[in-house]
């Protein structure tokens, strides 16, 4: 039997360090790499990044919007990238931020978390604007297939604060509702849960006791968005080892297209993050 996502991620972080490399084939980055903004450019970029970070990164995080902009052909490239990542035994976090009412979320669960889908990932990012309760088909499929879900709580961008810090009728902040709800879901099961949370490193420590989540954190905002390895260490200081996965994208990707440059940059970030989070 395959281990659950939370356990697999923890083992991977212990072995390789906490680095997740964002695969963001945007128009701007393709241009910076001297590549055309085409399906060929998309494929070249994605596979080059994957190849360069194997053995260094615990996971890759393809940003789905940059594949989706090429329609079905872009998704074909994404499927190829995901298959190559599975073959290389590197974890895949599909950064799609999906989320809808329950019956519609069944479709997203089938797309990203079911065993037979060509888009199956190890974990998926999801957005809770329609309520954490509406996400349950995603949690259930993840649990059934040994995969994971990262629910947005506090994102790395400033525009999100107004919503994420709003208070419910019980005077609880939205980001804390998300953290508490996910913790409750994880503590229903034994062992490290597979429902995680997205918490940006560009912010102060929240009130919520982060070490009690019972699941992993996906941490954006490090590198070109301004946060450092030390910021991450401060926010997550008492969290269990192997539960904090730190995404770095542009700060590594801009070292391409040369594989050696990408690899060196990824290794430096991995080493920095590993020592800060020890």
Cβ neighbours of residue 136 closer than 8 Å, sequence gap 6 or more: 102, 105
73 binds a second copy (CB under 8 A): yes
Question: Which residue in this structure is represented by tokens 């879900």?
Answer: 149
Q: Determine which residue in the list 5, 108, 139, 150 makes contact with a second copy, applying CB under 8 A.
A: 108
| C-alpha span between 28 and 199 (Å, rounded) | 26
68 binds a second copy (CB under 8 A): yes
Choose between 157 and 211: whose C-beta lies nearer to a second copy. Answer: 157
3-state DSSP assignment of residue 239: coil
Q: Determine which residue in the list 63, 194, 231, 265 makes contact with a second copy, applying CB under 8 A.
A: 63
Nearest to 30 by CA among 71, 74, 72, 60: 74
Read off φ and ψ for residue 57, nearest 5 degrees: -90, 140
206 binds a second copy (CB under 8 A): no
- The CB-of-205 to a second copy minimum distance in angstroms stands at 19
Helix (H) or strand (E) holding 96: strand 91-98
Read off φ and ψ for residue 93, nearest 5 degrees: -110, 110
Q: Which stretch binds a second copy (CB under 8 A): 11-19, 132-140, 205-213, 256-264?
A: 132-140
For a second copy, how many residues bind (rule: CB under 8 A)?
Answer: 61
Question: Which residue in this structure is represented by tokens 């903004």?
Answer: 37
Choose between 144 and 163: whose C-beta lies nearer to a second copy. Answer: 163
Does residue 97 carry a catalytic annotation?
yes
Which residues, 135 to 174, sit near a second copy by CB under 8 A? Answer: 152, 155-169, 174
3-state DSSP assignment of residue 245: strand
8 binds a second copy (CB under 8 A): no
Asked if residue 188 lies in contact with residue 216, where contact means CB atoms within 8 angstroms, the answer is no
Choose between 144 and 166: whose C-beta lies nearer to a second copy. Answer: 166
| C-alpha span between 193 and 245 (Å, rounded) | 15
193 binds a second copy (CB under 8 A): no
| C-alpha span between 187 and 181 (Å, rounded) | 10
- The CB-of-47 to a second copy minimum distance in angstroms stands at 16
- The CB-of-250 to a second copy minimum distance in angstroms stands at 9
Catalytic residues: 97
Residue ranges that bind a second copy, judged by CB under 8 A: 24, 26-27, 63, 65-66, 68-76, 78-79, 97-108, 110-111, 114, 117-119, 127-134, 152, 155-169, 174, 177
């Amino acid at each position: 039997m395959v281990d659950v996502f939370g356990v697999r991620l923890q083992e991977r972080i212990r072995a390789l360090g906490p680095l997740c490399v964002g695969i963001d084939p945007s128009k701007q980055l393709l241009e910076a790499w001297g590549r055309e903004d085409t399906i060929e450019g998309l494929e070249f970029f994605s596979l080059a990044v994957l190849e360069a970070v194997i053995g260094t990164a615990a996971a890759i995080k393809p940003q789905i919007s940059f594949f989706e902009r090429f329609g079905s052909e872009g998704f074909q490239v994404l499927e190829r990238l995901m298959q190559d990542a599975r073959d290389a035994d590197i974890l895949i976090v599909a950064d799609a931020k999906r989320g809808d009412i329950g019956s519609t979320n069944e479709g997203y669960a089938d797309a990203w978390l079911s065993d037979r889908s060509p888009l199956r990932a190890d974990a998926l990012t999801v957005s809770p604007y329609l309520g954490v309760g509406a996400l349950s088909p995603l949690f259930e499929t993840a649990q059934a297939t040994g995969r994971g879900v990262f629910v947005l709580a506090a994102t790395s961008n400033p525009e999100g604060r107004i919503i994420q810090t709003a208070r419910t009728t019980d005077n609880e902040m939205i980001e804390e509702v998300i953290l508490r709800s996910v913790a409750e879901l994880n503590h229903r099961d034994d062992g490290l849960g597979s429902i995680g949370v997205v918490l940006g490193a560009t912010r102060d420590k929240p009130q919520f006791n982060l070490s009690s989540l019972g699941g992993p954190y996906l941490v954006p905002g490090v590198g070109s968005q301004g946060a450092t390895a030390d910021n991450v260490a401060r926010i997550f200081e008492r969290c269990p080892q192997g539960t904090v996965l730190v995404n770095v994208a542009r700060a590594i990707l801009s070292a391409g297209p040369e594989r050696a440059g990408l690899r060196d940059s990824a290794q430096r970030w991995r080493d920095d993050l590993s020592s800060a989070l020890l």
